[in-house]
């Protein structure tokens, strides 16, 4: 049955483990009012102090590859972590330079941020990143072409599908769509009282969260889709929650028809084998109706 799927021979579905490594810069984008509040910021520094190494340790133990999205400034502030991620064979992808809210930037500023982030990562790793994830907000019309101009081959920022797709205006850029239910943040982000940012949910049951993630994987596996897991070192890599991730990955590994690959590997396969995106696909609709929209 796997031969009828869009994946390499013998595989029924694809799994991509992605990590957003933002240190304190992610929360400063969401809640700039916490700047200078070291006790509050220590919640997000936990990822740098403990979470990165714990995630790398688990991935090495289980023998899985992953893709890490890192803002340029985080890479420059933590070069030893970039070296460790790269040394373990994981992909390092870009999330801009300063983890900005792209809704506040025009296309020129977004393009500058992409370029600066890519240059910072290239300076530390010796190679330009192939992947990109918008740190926050949305890309302006022309954003995908800006990614292509910087040598980006794949993105994981959009939603609206559960299979990869080529962007209509830059078919060499492949999108690996996200789903909120496949992220750790909606389940576990709550840390403070009052909540920062406001309206966060309370910490979910670990067992129920694991059950949700396992049921989603079962569905993605059944229908032959692309299961993109989005993780954060400060959230999933606590001593208790890392066990949730371990059990999830171990369960996935029990299926020998699942392709666990980096985003770059999946995007390359899709670019070489898939057909063009349909006219009624959300990406095509966006390009037809909003590309030239000006506020």
> Rounded to whole angstroms, how far apart are CA atoms 173 and 256?
29
The set of long-range contacts for 87-91, using a CB threshold of 8 Å and a minimum separation of 24, is 88/56, 88/59, 88/60, 89/65, 90/56, 90/59, 90/65, 90/66, 90/262, 91/65, 91/66, 91/67, 91/130, 91/131, 91/262, 91/263, 91/264
Closest to 27 (Cα-Cα) out of 13, 40, 10: 40
Q: Is 74 helix (H, G, I), strand (E, B) or coil?
A: helix
Confidence (pLDDT) at 274: 74
Using an 8 Å Cβ cutoff, are 221 and 12 in contact?
A: yes
Using an 8 Å Cβ cutoff, are 94 and 131 in contact?
A: yes
Confidence (pLDDT) at 197: 60
Confidence (pLDDT) at 203: 81
CATH number of this structure's domain 2-284, picked from the four choices 2.40.50.1040, 3.50.50.60, 3.20.20.370, 3.40.50.1580: 3.20.20.370
Phi, psi dihedrals of residue 112, rounded to the nearest 5°: -65, -40
Domain locations in the chain as residue ranges: 2-284
Q: What is the model's pTM? A: 0.90
Per the structure block, which two tokens stand in for 21?
A: 């490594």
Q: Is beta strand 67-70 parallel, antiparallel or unpaired with respect to 165-167? A: unpaired
Confidence (pLDDT) at 43: 75
Confidence (pLDDT) at 4: 72
Positions in the chain short of pLDDT 70: 1-3, 24-26, 28-29, 31, 35-36, 38-39, 41, 190-201, 275-295
């Amino acid at each position: 049955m796997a031969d009828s799927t869009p994946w390499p021979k013998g595989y029924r579905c694809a799994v991509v483990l992605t990590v957003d490594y933002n240190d304190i810069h992610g929360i400063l984008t969401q809640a700039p009012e916490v700047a200078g509040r070291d006790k509050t910021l220590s919640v997000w520094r936990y990822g740098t102090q403990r979470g990165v190494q714990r995630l790398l340790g688990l991935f090495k133990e289980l023998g899985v590859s992953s893709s890490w999205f890192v803002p340029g400034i985080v890479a420059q502030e933590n070069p030893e972590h970039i070296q460790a991620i790269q040394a373990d064979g994981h992909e390092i992808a870009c999330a801009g330079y300063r983890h900005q809210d792209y809704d506040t930037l025009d296309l020129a500023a977004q393009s500058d941020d992409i370029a600066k982030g890519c240059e910072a990562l290239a300076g530390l790793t010796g190679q330009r990143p192939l992947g990109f994830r918008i740190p926050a907000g949305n890309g302006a019309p022309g954003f995908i072409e800006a990614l292509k101009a910087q040598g980006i081959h794949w993105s994981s920022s959009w939603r609206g599908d559960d299979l990869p797709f080529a962007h209509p205006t830059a078919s060499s850029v492949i999108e690996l769509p996200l789903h909120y239910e496949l992220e750790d943040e909606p389940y576990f982000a709550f840390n403070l009282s009052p909540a920062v940012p406001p309206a966060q949910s309370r910490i979910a049951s670990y067992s129920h969260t694991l059950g949700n993630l396992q049921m989603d994987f079962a569905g993605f596996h059944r229908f032959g889709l692309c299961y993109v897991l989005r993780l954060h070192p400060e959230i999933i890599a606590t001593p208790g929650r890392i066990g949730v991730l371990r059990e999830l990955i171990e369960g996935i590994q029990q299926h020998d028809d699942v392709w666990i690959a980096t985003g770059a590997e999946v995007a390359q396969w899709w670019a070489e084998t898939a057909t063009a995106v349909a006219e009624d696909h959300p990406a095509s609709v966006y390009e037809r109706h909003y590309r030239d929209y000006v506020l």
